[in-house]
Amino acid sequence: MPIFVKSKESTLKTIGTTLRELREAKGLLLREVGAKLSLDPTILSKIEQDKRMPTKEQVKSLANFYKDQKNEVIIAWLSDKLYYEVQNEDLALRAMQVAEEKIKYHKKNDKH
């Protein structure tokens, strides 16, 4: 799994960077967060170092734990997943634009 270029812009932060910054801002140790979420601190460390992608269940737990930044956690995870999936595709940007159009279309039509 490639490592992202770190940036101060929050939109370019990986899920690992996002989680590490949130944990450090609360003054918590990996083992403290792990214990509260029943998550192995070694796994959490690998996630924070972008050496492992968290599962959907882990992201849900972490997002609920960092409830004030829940959306930030979920967006970082989803954007990483999308990036890893399409990063080497020539038509990645166009495909993501089409996907965005599909999401908007289905959200609009699902409300009726």
DSSP 29: -
**What Rg, from alpha-carbon coordinates, does the chain have?**
16
User: What number does CATH give the domain 10-110?
Assistant: 1.10.260.40
Over range 71-76, report the average pLDDT: 95
User: Residue 9 — pLDDT band, cuts 50, 70, 90?
Assistant: low
Residue 4: the pLDDT is: 44
Residue 109: the pLDDT is: 87
Pairwise pLDDT comparison (112 vs 45), residue with the higher score: 45
CB atoms within 10 A of CB 86: 15
Over range 15-20, report the average pLDDT: 96
Closest CA to 17 of 49, 40, 41: 49
Amino acid residing at 95:
A
pLDDT in tens, 23-45: 999 999 999 999 999 999 999 99
